Structure 1
Amino acid sequence: MEIVTRADRPELHEAAAVVFRERWPEFVFHDNVPKRYMGRVEEYFARYDVMVLDGGSVVAGGWGVPMAWDGSADDLPPGYDDALIRAVDGREAGIEPTSLSFMAVAVGSSHDRRGMAGVVLEELARRACSDGLTHVVAPLRPTWKHRYPMVSMAEYAGWSRPDGLSIDPWIRTHQRMGARVLCPAPRSMVIEGTVAEWESWADMVFPVSREYVVPGALNLVLIDRERDRGVYVEENLWVQHR
């Protein structure tokens, strides 16, 4: 296996995009904050955008952003969107980063259960350490939370197995690497669209105004037919690695 950055191998960008896209519901790709910031993220932080190749093919990838964080829960961004904003705005303002935030990791479905996610996370953490960053955090999107959309993230994060680890596979992956749960990321992503857009993204019909359980959504989606708007505020979970 080989680890490269997307900057090293730009011709693999589309292959990496396929690996990422198969792991998330369609509505995730309609968050407006990444649309405004990702171009600069790719320019500024290419060192923290890695891919794992096996036989020349992309089997996993992940990326993160360096940002200023004082180490306290109160200073954490509200979630994914604001971590992006803090990293980019901080870079442009000349603010020295202290921490790396893992933002996303994906593994091709044909390479599940081979520890590829851990390989990506460890490589990103190694780069952060070698660059002198003192903290590594992540606003996790727990794998099974969508099964319990009416349960708060704080409650869900406390559910554990007899061995003391989380019931959630993605939280467990981080716990096995030494991470500890910090607190919920209460406003990690905000995705808005028309009712027709949400019906397309969710492959559902929303006949009346109310909150709906939507496949893949960690929280309920609010549909307002009178205003022709659907709004989804996703709650994630901050963890900190050693």
Structure 2
Amino acid sequence: MQIITRSNRPDLDEEAAEAFRERWPEFIFHDDVSKRHLERVRRWFGRFDVMALDDDGKVMAGGWGVPIAWDGTVGDLPDGYDGALVRAVEGHEAGRKPTALSFMAAAVGAAHDRRGLAGAVLGELKRRAYAEGLSHVVAPLRPTWKHRYPTVPMAEYATWARPDGLSIDPWIRTHQRMGAVVLGPARRSMVIAGTVAEWEQWTDMLFPATRDYVVPDALNLVHIDVEQDRGVYVEENLWVRH
């Protein structure tokens, strides 16, 4: 296995994108904050965007993060995924010195599950963060199984544990095994809005009435307002610190 910086192999962008897309629902890719900030993230923070390649040079996994200014307290954490993106970009533009790396996403191709690749990618990002002198590593996790319990608050879900004391959630467990501790919910981690027709397209569902809906792969309920022709999804994630 070889871990490389994604910016060094732009020819693999499409292959890497496929690995990420197969792990997330379509609506996740319609976050306006991401659309406004990701180009600058790629331009300035490419050293924190890595891929794991097999012996044939094929993409098996990838992950990325952004450096942010954080004072180490729970109260100073960003709102979540969107907030970390904004803080990283605006902080860089303002010349603020970052103190932490926030993992933003990691994905493993379905054909390469259960090989420890997510941990390897995150470990490489963690190594790079400390090599740059950053003091903290945090992450607004999107727990793998939370979509099965969309009405359960994240604060409660985060306490559900197996007999061995580790979380019932596979993604939280991955981070716990790397030494991470739970800090608390990121209650407005992502906000995704669209028309009713867009939400129907993104989810392959129909929304005939105004109400909150359970949507496949959504961690929380999606509010659809038919009269206003608007659907809004506020995703709650979970902050952990490594």
> 1:170 offset after TM fit, Å?
0.1
Gaps of 5+ in 1: none
**Paired AA for residue 2 in structure 1:** Q
What is the match of residue 21 of structure 2?
21
What is the match of residue 77 of structure 1?
78
What is the match of residue 184 of structure 2?
183
> 1:6 offset after TM fit, Å?
1.3
Q: Number of residues paired by the alignment?
A: 241
SS in 1 for 2:7: coil
> 1:171 offset after TM fit, Å?
0.1
What is the match of residue 239 of structure 1?
240
Within 5 Å, which residues of 2 pair with 1:1-242? 1-54=1-54, 55-241=56-242
Q: For the residues of structure 2 that align with 1:210 and 1:7, how far apart are their CA atoms?
A: 43
**Paired AA for residue 44 in structure 1:** W
**Paired AA for residue 17 in structure 1:** A
Q: Deviations over 1:15-70 (max 9, x none)?
A: 00000000000000000001000000000000000000002000000000000000
Q: Deviations over 1:157-214 (max 9, x none)?
A: 0000000000000000000000000010000000000000000101100110000000
Q: For the residues of structure 2 that align with 1:10 and 1:196, how far apart are their CA atoms?
A: 34
> 1:238 offset after TM fit, Å?
0.1
- The sequence identity of aligned pairs, in percent, is 73
Q: For the residues of structure 1 that align with 2:223 and 2:68, how far apart are their CA atoms?
A: 32
Following TM superposition, where does structure 1 have runs of at least 4 consecutive aligned residues deviating by more than 3 angstroms?
Answer: none
Q: For the residues of structure 1 that align with 2:237 and 2:6, how far apart are their CA atoms?
A: 26
CA RMSD for the aligned pairs? 0.3
Q: For the residues of structure 1 that align with 2:76 and 2:7, how far apart are their CA atoms?
A: 31
Gaps of 5+ in 2: none
**Paired AA for residue 217 in structure 2:** G
Q: For the residues of structure 2 that align with 1:23 and 1:159, how far apart are their CA atoms?
A: 23
**Paired AA for residue 110 in structure 1:** A
TM-score by length of 1: 0.99
Q: For the residues of structure 1 that align with 2:25 and 2:7, how far apart are their CA atoms?
A: 26
Q: For the residues of structure 2 that align with 1:121 and 1:137, how far apart are their CA atoms?
A: 11
**Paired AA for residue 177 in structure 2:** R
Q: Deviations over 1:85-132 (max 9, x none)?
A: 000000000000000000000000000000000000000000001000
Q: For the residues of structure 2 that align with 1:199 and 1:49, how far apart are their CA atoms?
A: 32
**Paired AA for residue 96 in structure 1:** K
TM-score by length of 2: 0.99
Q: For the residues of structure 2 that align with 1:121 and 1:36, how far apart are their CA atoms?
A: 25
> 1:73 offset after TM fit, Å?
0.2
